[in-house]
Structure 1
Amino acid sequence: MQVQQQVYTARPEDYAFLTEVWEASVRATHHFLTEEDILFYKPLVRDEYLQQVELRYVKDENGRIAGFVGTAEGKVEMLFVHPESRGQGIGKKLLQYAVDALQANAVDVNEQNEQAIGFYEHFGFRTVSRSEVDGMGKPYPILHMQLPR
């Protein structure tokens, strides 16, 4: 599959499919999360978190959302790529867009998500601090990463 070059702005009617992309991506990459955790976060993503960020997405050749990025106050709050679309440069395209067009220069990453850490490090992000728990107080340490100034 080839990703289209256009970056779209998400609207509320896109939230259900964005949540499907989120869930498929999390199931493929966040092996440290339990089924209970995924079911806990899913309605929060759909009903709260998506509304709190500026969302952009790209489509695959079939016109489906292949990946999305959400930013707020200079920070990448979420970046997820559908497993069927991984390895096609979608994450890189979305991150580059977030940095260039949306002025994002920081991201929080689950410490157990080594692929994501490597992805952001390859892009130039460096770990500046660490939290023992995630934003909901769950025992998933978070690395706070930033692009050097």
Structure 2
Amino acid sequence: MIRKHNKEDLEQIMDVWNQSSSLAHPFLESSFQEEVRNDMKEIYIPGSDTWVYDEGNRILGFISMIGNEIGGLFVLPNNHSKGIGTKLVNYINNFHDHLEVEVFEKNIIGRSFYKKYGFKIISKFMHEPSNEKVVRLSTRNY
């Protein structure tokens, strides 16, 4: 079931993020990953609208939104390709006329998912803190 997260979910959300981010972002420096991990816990999750995919009181994935932008979409690696990410994006899509997201260019897992969902590249830029290229994607037809 998809539900709004609560404070008690933070540990499980962080576990989903840790496992998924490690798989999707092996190209990122460990110091940068640690900084983002802290920001996720202290800033991003508390400062966004986050929904979790909960199955039997176990969080298998989550999506965090800031307006119409997907700030994060992560699913436990052993639950990839089971439709959880799609269900989370479908759920969020009901509240917005279009969605946008930024993904590291080297994040093959994320880019493949968003392409399959119908997102299109609208811009590319260099993300200075990580020194990695990022693509901005949208479901809006331009």
Structure-2-length-normalised TM-score: 0.91
Aligned-partner SS, 2:132: coil
* Alignment-derived partner of residue 15 in structure 1: 10
Q: Distance between the aligned counterparts of 2:98 and 2:50, measured in 1?
A: 12
How many correspondences in the alignment?
141
Query: 2:53, 2:61 within 8 Å by CA — same for their partners in 1?
Result: yes
> Which letter does structure 1 place at the counterpart of 2:67?
E
> Does 2:38 align with 1:43?
yes
> Does 2:99 align with 1:67?
no
Q: CA deviation at 1:26?
A: 0.7
Map residues 1-149 of structure 1 onto 2, 5 A cutoff: 6-60=1-55, 62-101=56-95, 105-133=99-127, 137-149=129-141
Q: Distance between the aligned counterparts of 2:74 and 2:89, measured in 1?
A: 10
> Once the two structures are aligned, what percentage of the paired residues are identical?
23
* Alignment-derived partner of residue 3 in structure 1: none
Q: Distance between the aligned counterparts of 1:76 and 1:103, measured in 2?
A: 13
Q: Distance between the aligned counterparts of 1:19 and 1:102, measured in 2?
A: 26
Structure 2 unmatched ranges of 5 or more: none
Query: 1:9, 1:56 within 8 Å by CA — same for their partners in 2?
Result: yes
Structure 1 unmatched ranges of 5 or more: 1-5
RMSD between aligned residues:
1.5
Q: CA deviation at 1:102?
A: 5.1
Q: CA deviation at 1:65?
A: 0.2
Deviations 1:50-107 (A, max 9, x none): 01211001123x4210000011111111000011211211111111112123555111
Q: Distance between the aligned counterparts of 1:148 and 1:104, measured in 2?
A: 5
Structure-1-length-normalised TM-score: 0.87
Q: Distance between the aligned counterparts of 1:30 and 1:38, measured in 2?
A: 9
Higher strand share: 2
